[in-house]
Structure 1
């Protein structure tokens, strides 16, 4: 089942918004004009990533400073697992997720 999150027309560089889907907090952001969807939780200690800083293609968790390379979500620190990246889906003029 397709769950719409946002209209495509609103997805500009720098876009960032959280959504609640099936009890999970998801973060939709646009980096290098590419929409990325991830679980809004740092795999290091579970801190929300909606306030993380973004410098180029590096997302930095505000709580402990762990950094992740986007768009793949791989950590720059070997001791931390990668981000939980989700596949986006499209339907008409909307971006969302298939659940």
Structure 2
């Protein structure tokens, strides 16, 4: 596992969304109501970008086919077409004044 720095804490605010490409992974860091989440940046259904997704309560809604995922666990809550796998969520690592993630083997 290797640590990757993502963002300084001072730069985060409610509504923050940014995609990070790390090797073959594309991750989206977002902050909603003071809570920070790190998820895969594309919907697992048809790989639609989640940068324009809506968050309703604890659910993230894909803008293309309206699939709903629990933003905390990634669990699929509603499929409008065929089922798909859960959304991948990653644990954020707090180091000094920044956020990062451990990725790798």
TM class by shorter chain equals 0.7 to 0.9
What is the aligned length? 99
Deviations for 1:44-73, whole angstroms, at most 9, x for unmatched residues?
111111121222322111111111122112
Specify every segment of 5 or more residues in structure 2 that has no aligned partner in the other structure, as ranges. none
Q: CA RMSD in A?
A: 1.5
Give 1:66-85 correspondences, 5 Å limit.
Answer: 66-77=67-78, 79-85=83-89
Deviations for 1:13-71, whole angstroms, at most 9, x for unmatched residues?
22111111112211001133221101112111111111212223221111111111221
Residue in structure 2 matching 1:89, options 83, 90, 93: 93
Partner of 2:65: 64
TM-score of the two chains, using structure 1 as the length reference: 0.87
Aligned equivalents of 2:99 and 2:64: distance in 1?
A: 29
Specify every segment of 5 or more residues in structure 1 that has no aligned partner in the other structure, as ranges. none
Aligned equivalents of 1:56 and 1:77: distance in 2?
A: 14
Whether contact under 8 Å (1:31, 1:57) holds in the other structure is no
User: Which shifted more, 72-81 or 89-98?
Assistant: 72-81
TM-score of the two chains, using structure 2 as the length reference: 0.83
Runs of 4+ in 1 over 6 A off after TM superposition: none
SS of the aligned residue for 2:78 comes to coil
